[in-house]
Amino acid sequence: MTPATNILLALATPLIGAVLIVAAHRVPNVRESVTMVTASVLFLLVASLTPLVLAGERPEVTLLEMMPGLSLKFKVEPLGMLFGLIASGLWIVNSLYSIGYMRANDEQHQTRFYVCFAGALASAIGIAFAGNLLTLFVFYEALTLITYPLVTHAGTEDAKRAGRVYLGLLVGTSIGFLLVAMVWIWHLTGTVDFQPGGILLGKAGNATVGVLLALCVFGIGKAALMPFHRWLPAAMVAPTPVSALLHAVAVVKAGVFSVLKVIIYIFGVGEIAGLKSVDWLPFFAGFTIIVASVIALRSDNLKRRLAYSTVSQLSYVVLAAALLTPLSIVGAALHIATHAVGKITLFFAAGAIYTAAHKTEVSQLNGIGRRMPWTMGAFTVGALSLIGIPPAAGFVSKWFIISGAIDGGHYLALGVLIASTLLNAAYFLPIVHAAFFRAPDAGGHEHGEAPWPMVVALSITAAMTIALFFFADLPLRLVSQLVGMRYGQ
Amino acid sequence: MISQHFPILQVVLPLIAAPVIILLRNGRAAWLLATTVSWVSLIIALALLEQVSAGGVISYAIGSWPPPWGIEYRIDQVNAFLLVLVSLIAAVVSVYSRASVDAELPREQHYLFYAMFALCLAGLLGIAATGDAFNLFVFLEISSLSSYVLIALGRDRRALMAAYQYLVMGTIGATFYIIGVGLLYLMTGTLNMADMAHRLSGVAEVKPVLAALAFITVGICLKLALFPLHLWLPNAYAYAPSAVTAFLAATATKVSVYVLLRFYFSVFGASAIFLALPMGQILLVLSLAAMFIASTVAIFQSDIKRMFAYSSVAQIGYITLGISFDSATGLTAGIVHLFNHALTKGALFMLLGCFALRLGRVSFSDIGGIARVMPVTAFGIVLGGLSLIGVPGTVGFVSKWYLVLAALESGQWWIALAIVLSSLLAVVYVWRFVEVAYFHQPDAKLAKLKEARLEMLVPAWLMIAACIYFGLDAELTVSGAAQAAATLLQGVR
């Protein structure tokens, strides 16, 4: 199998899976098996490309020419490789979790749910492997549309309203800003290809680069940079597995991944470093980090707290990318991975608490750790990772981002990172403390852990969070290629 | 060789079919003949496009009277493209129309419907094919008169009023056009458009010529429903029979856009009207007004057909916006959107016809939860709506790409922003449909309905499939439009 067919198969697998899921809609056990098998096959296909990319190859394939000179094409480079591995790998775990959650909560329209999930993964892989900005845009929009039925899954008035915010902000920013930026780049350079070192050097002046960067960064609404972040908390109306995979991994990570990809391969890190017109971005990112953390601190609803925590953590990636130093770029790329495993664990835990104990508010969680030790143990691991305490994965990426900030002399960014670490601790540690050390409130009903598939899933992601600390080698080898560093030398 | 006579056969076949249908007086036979003629027209149009691509402009002298004395049919890249579009839509709609007309019209009117349909097709193809300004007027009237009848056939009594409104406006438009042509004839002594263009280059600045330009512009803009001359359109589209709306929405305004292009670039082109008069600016302002105002009005409609009719007015704004840039990219954008929008709106109105088949009227209050009972139709409308928004993977995205590119090339970045902002208005009205169709429980009356008949769904979905195919692989349409644009600009430079 050539790498080109491998890429196309990876894109086709979730779609074939979706068709099979529809075909098997009458037999839930077969349907869920199809999901699990599809997810596993996808992961193997993606993983089989990894050695090539590590060896420095960049397999590519052109699917079709959409408009003269503008193709849909795919090219696997280290950053996309990393994102593809995370999205497809966590889909397996998430499918396991979904089975437990959807059955235990007796959700409706389960077939539609699994079909849209598969479609979302196909879009995420398309984004990960996109060889040019046009391809990225096509799959970015596809991801928004295919996740709309997931966000509005409940079909209630609330879900409908949340769907409006979700779609309005994501489609509004992407068509309103990103499309214009893309056509503008095409007009200036005659290409939209992702190339190391960017494509704008010598083609666009200082001011133009600044405007284009703004159009790109705000146009990628999935990165949830303030003031275009509201869709993320709104989307929490969705069932928890959706929040977990889409709003901790596929959708939001597609956002920050796109930002990072555009900065590295369209603008060029070294090429725009030091330009006066791009130095505003760290302030916006820093502002988002702090403000979102404060909102998270003040939210009693657990999922809302996690949502704002996500908004804040996404801006870590944007901030790190905006610092434009090699170390911070490595940190940004790593943070996509480390935050993904940590946050999905937290969401899994929140869903498990909802399923077993029917509790949604932070203030209801006193003593819950005694009844659900596995769940709350995993929650603790996820929280530690987000705060950045070893031995959890979050420490590694934070280390690189902080090193990058010091390296580039961005002391304000350093201050933001320190303040936000404290805020993270302030909104996560009380939950852990209450769960394990406070006595349960009187009058609560008896319950144990959530159904086993959920507990297994969240234990796996918690283990991954720890493992990524000790075996950060693979992601580091991948992302150090981004900045031309040879890891280990 | 018969292929030499394709230019005239293109027009004459449907023209002859109309009286034959009247003689047949049988609804089923009438449908069969109209459908056959539409498909034969499509084959001829494709053959003509092939001939033009291979051998350049075709000039056909009617009755062997050589131009400029006789009537000349002149097929180049521009109208060959349009002939394909019109006959393609006619062919698809004719298949669709049988079930739709059976449901919406009383039996004794069926043969009249198909006679008018064939006549309207003949008129539209004639406008596209002819190279003679007066002959164009004749076909304009043929197509207009037949379309008044077609609209008046709608079962809602308001259809009569709508047809009457259109009749008044359409007649004013045609009269203005013929006054303009008369003035031009006065100044040049010829009615052949190519000859006219040649002779005008000497007298471009003369007052009667400028007056002719003004009359023709207003007359044609009435027919193509450029804002604020669009007032006839929403009612006409809303109350006409479903098949008529689908056919007219996809073809009539598009053919009028072609006439505008032909006069601006081929006839007046050499006299540089875009430099002598602020035609570009006027078109630009009116197009922007159409895009924003009509889209906003569309959001507040309760009748879905009216909503998409207002959306058509807005989309025509995109086409004329492309023309107003007076550049190769701008014209390409306009022409490609002409094609793309014809596909999209044709499909949408055909699908709305599927609702009408089951429901009678299609207003938002009647279709709550319809996606559960007619999922195929509803999902088709969602896809068509995505194309209106300009989501990548649909034809609407291709149009938007070239429009934004043309705006940036002209150095007016704010127009680029205006284009994308107005397409966000489309999100609002399309999503209004999505929410009503998908988030409500169907009421008892609705729950008993069945999915529309296959013979309607298949043609409609073919158009939707074309919207997606040409959205993913726009090589054919874009290069066709680019060649047409180049042909038009040859007259200018």
Chains A–B, number of C-beta pairs less than 8 Å apart: 78
Look at residue A325 and tell me if it is in a domain. yes
**Residue A193, beta-bridge partner list:** A132
Is residue A328 within 8 A of residue A402, CB to CB? The reply is no
Say whether A68 and B386 touch across the interface (CB within 8 A): no
The Cα B338–Cα B224 span in angstroms is 12
For B417, the closest of A66, A152, A180 (CB atoms) is A180
Range of the domain at B356: 278-493
pLDDT digits (tens, 9 = 90+) for A374-433: 888 888 888 888 888 888 888 888 888 888 888 888 888 888 888 988 998 888 888 888
Alpha carbon B186 to its chain centroid, in Å, reads 31
Say whether A183 and B417 touch across the interface (CB within 8 A): no
Q: Is the CB of B391 inside 8 Å of chain A's CB atoms? A: yes
Q: Is the CB of A179 inside 8 Å of chain B's CB atoms? A: yes
For B424, the closest of A72, A142, A172 (CB atoms) is A172
The Cα A8–Cα A21 span in angstroms is 20
Q: How confident is the model over B35-54, as a mean pLDDT?
A: 91
Nearest to B21 by CA among B119, B92, B100: B119
**Least confident stretch, A208-212, A442-446, B90-94, B335-339:** A442-446
Is residue B304 within 8 A of residue B348, CB to CB? The reply is no
Q: Is the CB of B108 inside 8 Å of chain A's CB atoms? A: no
What is the 3-class SS of B118-144, one letter each residue? HHHHHHHHHHHHECEHHHHHHHHHHHH
Decide if pLDDT at B89 tops 90.
yes
- Name the residue of chain A whose CA is nearest to B431's CA: A164
Say whether A64 and B472 touch across the interface (CB within 8 A): yes
The Cα B391–Cα B379 span in angstroms is 15
Q: Is the CB of B469 inside 8 Å of chain A's CB atoms? A: no
Q: Is the CB of B423 inside 8 Å of chain A's CB atoms? A: yes
Look at residue A218 and tell me if it is in a domain. no
The Cα A324–Cα A413 span in angstroms is 12
Say whether A186 and B431 touch across the interface (CB within 8 A): no
Q: Is ipTM over 0.90?
A: no
Q: Is the CB of B393 inside 8 Å of chain A's CB atoms? A: yes
List CB contacts (< 8 A) between A160 and chain B.
435, 439
- Name the residue of chain B whose CA is nearest to A72's CA: B472
List CB contacts (< 8 A) between B393 and chain A.
138, 141-142
Quick one: CA dihedral A89, A91, A95, A98, positive or negative? positive
Look at residue A246 and tell me if it is in a domain. no
Range of the domain at A364: 280-489
Residue A110, CA distances (Å) to A28, A31, A32 in order: 9, 10, 10
Look at residue B384 and tell me if it is in a domain. yes
Beta-strand relationship, B72-75 and B58-61: antiparallel
Look at residue A333 and tell me if it is in a domain. yes
The Cα A184–Cα A5 span in angstroms is 32
Look at residue A367 and tell me if it is in a domain. yes
Residue A178, min C-alpha distance to chain B (Å): 10
Q: Who's near B282: CB < 8 A, 6+ residues apart?
A: none
Look at residue A406 and tell me if it is in a domain. yes
Look at residue A127 and tell me if it is in a domain. no
What is the number of domains present in chain B?
Answer: 1
Is residue A394 within 8 A of residue A339, CB to CB? The reply is yes
Look at residue B163 and tell me if it is in a domain. no
- Judged by DSSP in three states, B360 sits in coil
Look at residue B60 and tell me if it is in a domain. no
Q: Is the CB of B472 inside 8 Å of chain A's CB atoms? A: yes
Residue B182: the pLDDT is 93
Check residue B225 and give left, alpha or beta (phi > 0: left; psi -120 to 50: alpha).
left
Is residue B404 within 8 A of residue A179, CB to CB? The reply is yes
The Cα B134–Cα B140 span in angstroms is 10
Question: Tokens for A80?
Answer: 């996309």
Q: At what angle do helices B413-439 and A157-173 cross, to 10 degrees?
A: 160
Q: Is the CB of B392 inside 8 Å of chain A's CB atoms? A: yes
- Please return the burial class of A112, using the count of CB atoms within 10 Å of its CB with bins 0-12, 13-18 and 19+: middle
Look at residue B55 and tell me if it is in a domain. no
For B478, the closest of A67, A152, A172 (CB atoms) is A67
Nearest to B238 by CA among B308, B298, B153: B308
What is the number of domains present in chain A?
Answer: 1
The Cα B224–Cα B255 span in angstroms is 8
Peptide bond into A430 cis (omega under 30): no
* B140: confidence class by pLDDT, cuts 50, 70, 90: very high
Q: How confident is the model over B128-136, as a mean pLDDT?
A: 90
For B423, the closest of A141, A175, A186 (CB atoms) is A175
Instruction: Give DSSP secondary structure letters for A180-201.
Output: HHHHHHHHHHS--B--TT-S-T
Look at residue B409 and tell me if it is in a domain. yes
Question: Tokens for A148?
Answer: 């709309």
pLDDT along chain A (489 residues), means of 10: 84 88 81 86 89 84 84 89 89 85 76 86 91 91 90 83 89 90 90 84 82 90 87 83 79 90 87 80 89 89 87 90 86 89 88 82 79 85 87 86 86 88 88 82 71 84 87 82 63
The Cα B197–Cα B181 span in angstroms is 12
How many residues in chain B? 493
Look at residue A433 and tell me if it is in a domain. yes
Nearest to B374 by CA among B458, B437, B466, B303: B437
Say whether B416 and A187 touch across the interface (CB within 8 A): no
Decide if pLDDT at B317 tops 70.
yes
Question: Tokens for A338?
Answer: 């480390």
Nearest to A284 by CA among A340, A216, A334, A200: A216
Confidence (pTM): 0.90
Beta-strand relationship, A70-75 and B72-75: unpaired
Residue A106: the pLDDT is 74
* B362: confidence class by pLDDT, cuts 50, 70, 90: confident
More reliable by pLDDT, A248 or B184:
B184
Q: Is the CB of A164 inside 8 Å of chain B's CB atoms? A: yes
Look at residue B109 and tell me if it is in a domain. no
- Name the residue of chain A whose CA is nearest to B471's CA: A66
Look at residue B374 and tell me if it is in a domain. yes
Query: Where is A60: in which H helix or E strand?
Result: strand A60-67
Q: Is the CB of A112 inside 8 Å of chain B's CB atoms? A: no
Beta-strand relationship, A60-67 and A70-75: antiparallel
Residue A279: the pLDDT is 83
The Cα B160–Cα B158 span in angstroms is 5
How many residues in chain A? 489
List CB contacts (< 8 A) between A65 and chain B.
473, 475
The Cα A237–Cα B254 span in angstroms is 45
Look at residue B147 and tell me if it is in a domain. no
Helices and strands, counts by H and E, chain A? 21, 2
Q: How far apart are the first and last CA of chain A?
A: 33
Mean pLDDT in chain B?
87
Say whether A184 and B408 touch across the interface (CB within 8 A): yes
How many other β-carbons are positioned within 10 Å of the β-carbon of residue B61? Answer: 17
Is residue B307 within 8 A of residue B352, CB to CB? The reply is no
Residue B274: the pLDDT is 66
